[in-house]
Structure 1
Amino acid sequence: MMAKKLLTFVGLSLVFFIVAVVTAVLLMPQLKNLLNNDTAISPVVSHISTFVALVLTLLISWRRLNVKSQLKSYISCDFRYYGISLVGVLILFILVTLVNKLLGIGNPWVADLMRGNQITLAFIYFTILVLAPLNEEIIFRGFALNIGNAISGGWISVWLTIVISCGGFALLHTQYGYTTVIYLFVLAVWFAIVRIKSQSLSVPIVAHSFASLLGSLNI
């Protein structure tokens, strides 16, 4: 049974990868003409293509992996967890902001990202506040945590899965600088904790979106 689930996951991951690459190739020239911000091209294209791939993958696996019932459990939770997750994000954001100010570290990549006309900014905000939280939480706090927990049980393996998945998440954001990468690793661990405690994927998605909003305003 475990081998079958792993094979299903590997097959869906392959579909996911192929669709994402094809979508990115198709979208790149069109968005280059639409957006007058070269920094925004990569995150916008990658997250749109990833979202398309995720949707198609979920549709393909709708019956086999019982996606409908899983989605219900991922959305429903005690609303107090939303407040707890947002407070944690705010505390971590204040700490990293103070550290960056003490060290004289700015966010030039974010400053370059958050510029352009209204169409460009609309694409950017939709990407960082909606698509990125959905994509990254489904992948890292959804697929990665579930697969890690399915392979082996026990709190040691749970924490090992959290560390590995959060490390991968942080390494995807090296454009921000080393202090922010460390902050994102700790933030990802917080997302994983609230995901496990709440048993809902919607909690880290909302917290992730809030963290992105704070980051976009801290230029």
Structure 2
Amino acid sequence: MKKMIVLFLIGLFTLQSCSVSSEITYHKDSSSTFVTDIDTREFMSEMQAMTPDSLKQKEFGEIDKLPTVWTSLYDLEKREGKIKTQHPDTVRIMKKIFMKSKQDDRKLVGLSFKMDHFTADDHQVLKNYNKREKLPLDQNIYNAWDGKTLTIDTENFNLRNIEETLRSKSSKEGTEKIEGMMMMFFKEIGTTLKFDHKIRTITGKHDWLKQTDEYSVKIDYDLKTLYDKEAKLKNADKKIVITTE
């Protein structure tokens, strides 16, 4: 099951048809929830068009096994008898990461992933977990949040986790072309940061971060600038502090 999930993620992140929307919601109890919705319609069509037999592979044959309601990674692996660890911290994290699929006439049309109410301690454990699993997580999930104030480290305005995921599954020749692939295949990449309470103040500026309403800001990545070492931004503060009511 996990192999199939990773296969889809890599495919989606390396096709021009990729459509991914992400949102991080910051709760007043100092936790945060990260949700990514992936539209797989064009991905499946392109896979079938490029390699007609690809959807007959074992991984794609397991589509019926994907849950259509939120199901934790722990329950998915337990169901298959493939739980590799009983370490309490890892088990706790696996029970807070969920996935579900959207299917139409037994065809996969969408995948959603959720990290539910993660605390600062959960994120620290997740860093170690992800060193092994290489999941393409948004770097901004690691920004410091205390229930009222979010401190954004703009060094996290990058795609390192996605790059590492691609490198871990690519040939040596492929890993040397990662930056070119990112520039070529991604159309738009953005993450919405949403708060339970209204935003009171924003200190610091960055060209890629804009407030969209009273409760939200959005980060839109400029890939050309991101991979151009000589590119200059008009606003590029190292820290941005958002305080809520």
Normalised by the length of structure 1, the TM-score is: 0.29
Normalised by the length of structure 2, the TM-score is: 0.27
Where relative contact order (Cα < 8 A, 6+ residues apart) is larger, the structure is: 1
Structure number having the greater helix percentage: 1
Structure number having the greater strand percentage: 2
Higher-Rg structure is 2
